[in-house]
Chain A
């Protein structure tokens, strides 16, 4: 089929123009630039994806081994130590009862927003550039939420009683308090984790079936089990298409609700600096900001280190995400300013004190670094199509944005907590073992991602093929343009 489509592109252009020779250049240019116009036979793409999964160098294992050690020590050992000793081993105090764990939770939930944004919103709006990397982004959602879950459980003083948060009938006749934003959080994050995992799995079934047909040994058993007996009958495709459609639409409000509710943990509190009505959308945009930054980082690493990925992930994709990053950076700046302006104008003396503390307090450098990393640098770099098409440049910008967004959450949580209406209790927060645990979650995220990259096809091959069928070149007068048919 891919071959058929390939011919169609050629035929179309050649018949549309009498001088096929002069057009050859044009077409080559398009093929080089756009994955969707550079079709390969499906079998070949399958083999490339299978090869990318099965090829591992010693470097992969070295990094993987190192991460395993970090996860074992920083995450599980330190967590166990913290559980047995109590939260005294962290740097929390009065008034910073919340510290790095909640910063990490908000951060990881932010990272998880990119996957849904790319695979659901871009699917709903039929943004074709999404096709090769929807899965790479969705994996970030699921694994990011796992880390968010870890972080929020670390935060609990008596984590072994976490199930008291769940609504289940029990002998004591006690139910969770659904007045609390933390209960909504638990509901929202559970909903989001389950639905994003299901949404990751549904489009994966056909690719697992492909991998089943192409593999032997333990991989065969693995894929056979996961592919659930998928053959690709008309019925199976119809059910799958319908379900993916429902998911794409329904998961968008869930995604918005998750980060809005996370923001309500702060906004619902009677604290200066937190009690802001704009926090919901501000947090959602902030989540997308860090999430998109993380997606380009992952894509740059996948493209740079995995075999055959340079065919699937091209500069055009970095260009497209770069544009989104620029727009989201602008949106973030807008919300940030809105929040700041209204709080500044409100004239509440505690809020004023807090704003002053943000900018001129001992953590003032964070505030300025946040603005530089979240606004100045993305704007200075991403306007340039050439720069934003260069993977390593976008990688660096993504890294800086994530640094800036981490600072933003740090300023909102422990820095804002340092100041309150009882000046007698004002005190700074210095993280201790939280840092190790934070590193542990980061290592575990990368560890999961590396494991997944060798176990499940990172590229949704059938979606790429579908896109390649739908694209062709069309002549309007002298100009050759890309046209897309709506197959879905």
Chain B
């Protein structure tokens, strides 16, 4: 049993799993969004609610433009998902411990069963990447057949968010363990990275200097969003490289 005082504080370097997103090659095709929804059993919200700002996407492609029509300049697409902050502002504000920091994966966990729906975490997330189950959304036949058995289905009143496909992490770890080895870099990846036709998303161990994601992240022109808030995000973005 770990004593509370033995816990190490997360620092910039202590992140375990991380991601690099190259906005320059992102085409904004939304394949990642679809793959994420399939992988993580995300509800289909429907037009009306989605149009009112209740879309349930754990990853979204943000599009921006500058200037007035007709001189509109598109800026690169910006995929945005939970940044798995090392010092997450969403965690301490939950009164029920439904969102906590995992020691093993150094990820920001969301415990659906413990969530009572105060939505404080979502307010306090500077990236606004949390999705709330405003209703029990319909899932007509035969859609239930494509449920991913590794992921909980959430009900109304519960907050959810990107987990870095923690079920895939665990699967890969279990497999590696049974074969008596470490998880290899590139052995598995998240659903969004897997689906990206342009390979704009790279996922892996950021604490391993040899991994692809580490090599990319240290290439120099990467930025972390809203880093000035001290959230220690684990996703690095490339833009205008």
Contacts and interface: CB of A to CB of B under 8 A. Distances in A.
A binds B: yes
Interface residues on A, range: 35 or more
B209 interface: no
A229 interface: no
Nearest to A348: B228
A270 B229 contact: yes
Given A162-B116, A176-B96, A268-B93, A422 B128 contact: yes
Contacts of A88: 49, 54, 134-135, 156
A85 B156 CA distance: 8
A158 B116 CA distance: 5
Contact of B156 (A86, A97, A177, A417): A86
Given A88-B49, A179-B92, A182-B95, A161 B133 contact: no
Contacts of A93: 52-54
Contacts of A422: 62, 80, 126-128
Contacts of A425: 53, 128
A165 B116 contact: yes
Nearest to A175: B97
B10 to A, nearest CB: 16
A186 B96 CA distance: 12
A423 interface: yes
B75 to A, nearest CB: 11
Given A87-B117, A422-B126, A427-B53, A180 B135 contact: no
Nearest to B127: A422
B131 interface: yes
A420 B93 contact: no
Contacts of A421: 126-128, 226
A98 B117 CA distance: 11
A10 interface: no
Interface in A250-269: 265, 268-269
B120 interface: yes
A164 B118 CA distance: 12
Contact of A157 (B53, B118, B226): B118
B172 interface: no
A95 B132 contact: no
A388 interface: no
B36 interface: no
A180 B119 contact: no
A180 B54 contact: no
B179 to A, nearest CB: 35
Contacts of A159: 116-117, 157
B136 interface: yes
B114 interface: yes
B64 interface: yes
Contacts of B134: 86-88, 92
Interface in B50-77: 52-55, 60, 62-64
A157 B133 contact: yes
Contacts of A87: 117, 132, 134-135, 156-157
A174 interface: yes
B95 A424 contact: no
A186 to B, nearest CB: 7
A164 B126 contact: no
Contact of A176 (B62, B97, B157): B97
Interface in A387-406: none
A164 B93 contact: no
14 contacts: A87-B157, A88-B135, A88-B156, A93-B52, A93-B54, A94-B55, A97-B123, A156-B116, A156-B118, A156-B157, A181-B93, A417-B123, A420-B128, A422-B62
